């Protein structure tokens, strides 16, 4: 091996990424009679160590929240002799690292949407947010450090209820899982396989995903086991927060649900459609706190109390309680206070309900409408004059007139 060390050093200078196997093959062609193990140990010792690069920090993840997607081109030679550039689409769930790969002739918008549709069918849903680089089907351009999204892709994202998040090109650490997934495609799928055409390549890819990728362990769990835990995580929905009261928000209405989106296409409210004209106020998430003051009297107890006073009282309460409770609950409680003065067990002649029932029409006939301001002022002046005359008469001595 000492005789071939200068040759190994020359190869490492000319080809820094050359493997020990390739060095062994070259040396063997040049007359080397040793074994591969000695060459491998020497190459490992002679190769300069790679520069250490600090890895970027991974953002915190939430179950069923994040996904990453990207494209990678591969030049594939089929068994028929034809050569094609195959675009591989990767869609990776961040928490469970379960993966989907799609193969296409191009990486345009239609291929991107078709790949997402197949990924959602495989996972039974989609993540709430997905990271992309600045590919044209997703981001048209950047203005003031803000991405201008493709309107057609935004319509696709709003249909499936996920939020796209664009990152700059040249920052692989912003979406490390999808970048690493292509290494898995190159080492585990493309390596050692032959394909007849693109359809055969897709069939082998689906078999590889189901039998190999989903069953690889990370720690003590496979991707499928982690995926079951991820899909079991509950997701908060419903109610528009107070932060968006003054905002103009896009709304999407389906046959049974209503969706409200923020300016960044984040779904902030999701409601089941109520019957038209029902006047219901729906807030199942409790984003709008309930009033702190509650009525001290139970309205059901009022109904029971009136029903115990007889059929007339029950009918009176039924007619009274047609409107909102704030308009009749106080009056109903005042009527019940009359039970301390009147007997409700005997004849209906002494029942307060007969008095109230007949007094209400008499009062309406006596005062068909509210008095006007001029008539009210005249009555006030007359009362003042009469009170003044009585005071003068009391102050005058007898016989003075």
What 315-323 contacts at long range (C-beta under 8 Å, 24+ apart), as own/partner pairs, is 316/353, 316/356, 316/357
User: What string of pLDDT tens digits covers the 401 residues of the chain?
Assistant: 788 888 888 888 888 888 888 888 888 888 888 888 888 898 888 887 766 665 555 555 445 578 999 999 999 999 999 999 999 999 998 888 889 999 999 999 999 999 999 998 888 878 888 999 888 999 999 888 889 999 999 988 888 888 899 988 777 777 888 888 898 898 888 888 889 999 999 999 999 998 888 888 777 788 888 887 766 553 433 456 767 756 777 888 787 788 888 878 888 887 777 665 555 555 665 655 665 555 555 778 888 888 887 788 888 888 888 877 777 887 888 887 777 666 655 544 444 455 454 444 444 454 555 556 677 778 888 888 777 666 555 555 544 44
C-beta atoms surrounding 245 within 10 Å: 8
Q: Report the alpha-carbon distance of residue 236 to residue 234 in Å, rounded.
A: 7
Q: What is the pLDDT of residue 271?
A: 77
Q: Report the alpha-carbon distance of residue 268 to residue 250 in Å, rounded.
A: 10
Block residue for tokens 């250490």: 52
Q: Taking the chain, what is the end-to-end CA distance rounded to the nearest angstrom? A: 152
Q: Report the alpha-carbon distance of residue 36 to residue 22 in Å, rounded.
A: 10
Buried residues in 219-244 as b, exposed as e (16+ CB within 10 A): eeebbeebbeebeeeeeeebbbeeee
Q: In terms of residues, how long is the chain?
A: 401
Structure-token pair, residue 142: 């950047």
């Amino acid at each position: 091996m000492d005789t071939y060390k200068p040759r190994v050093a020359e190869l490492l200078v000319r080809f820094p990424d050359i493997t020990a196997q390739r060095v062994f093959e070259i040396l063997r062609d040049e007359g080397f009679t040793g074994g591969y193990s000695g060459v491998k140990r020497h190459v490992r010792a002679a190769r300069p160590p790679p520069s250490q690069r600090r890895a970027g920090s991974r953002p915190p993840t939430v179950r069923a929240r994040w996904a990453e997607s990207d494209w990678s081109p591969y030049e594939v030679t089929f068994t028929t002799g034809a050569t094609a550039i195959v675009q591989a689409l990767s869609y990776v769930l961040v928490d469970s690292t379960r993966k989907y790969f799609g193969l296409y002739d191009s990486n345009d918008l239609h291929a991107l949407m078709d790949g997402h549709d197949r990924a959602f069918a495989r996972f039974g849903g989609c993540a709430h947010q997905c990271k992309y680089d600045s590919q044209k089907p997703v981001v048209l351009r950047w203005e003031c450090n803000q991405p201008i999204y493709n309107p057609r892709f935004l319509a696709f994202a709003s249909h499936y209820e996920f939020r796209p998040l664009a990152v700059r090109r040249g920052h692989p650490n912003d979406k490390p899982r999808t970048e690493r997934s292509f290494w898995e495609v190159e080492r585990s799928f493309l390596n050692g396989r032959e394909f007849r055409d693109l359809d055969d390549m897709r069939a082998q890819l689906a078999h590889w995903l189901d039998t190999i990728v989903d069953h690889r362990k990370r720690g003590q769990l496979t991707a499928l086991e982690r995926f079951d835990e991820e899909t079991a995580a509950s997701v908060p929905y419903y109610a528009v927060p107070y932060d968006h009261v003054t905002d103009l928000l896009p709304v999407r209405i389906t046959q049974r649900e209503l969706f409200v989106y923020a300016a960044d296409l984040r779904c902030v409210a999701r409601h089941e459609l109520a019957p038209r004209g029902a006047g219901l106020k729906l807030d199942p998430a409790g984003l709008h706190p309930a009033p702190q003051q509650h009525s001290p009297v139970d309205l059901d107890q009022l109904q029971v109390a009136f029903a115990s006073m007889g059929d007339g009282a029950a009918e009176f309460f039924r007619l009274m309680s047609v409107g909102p409770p704030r308009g009749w609950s106080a009056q109903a409680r005042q009527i019940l206070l009359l039970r301390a003065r009147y007997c409700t067990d005997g004849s209906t002649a002494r029942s307060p309900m007969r008095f109230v029932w007949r007094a209400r029409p008499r009062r309406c006939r006596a005062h068909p409408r509210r008095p006007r301001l001029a008539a009210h002022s005249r009555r006030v002046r007359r009362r003042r004059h009469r009170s003044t005359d009585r005071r003068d008469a009391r102050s005058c001595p007898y016989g003075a007139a």
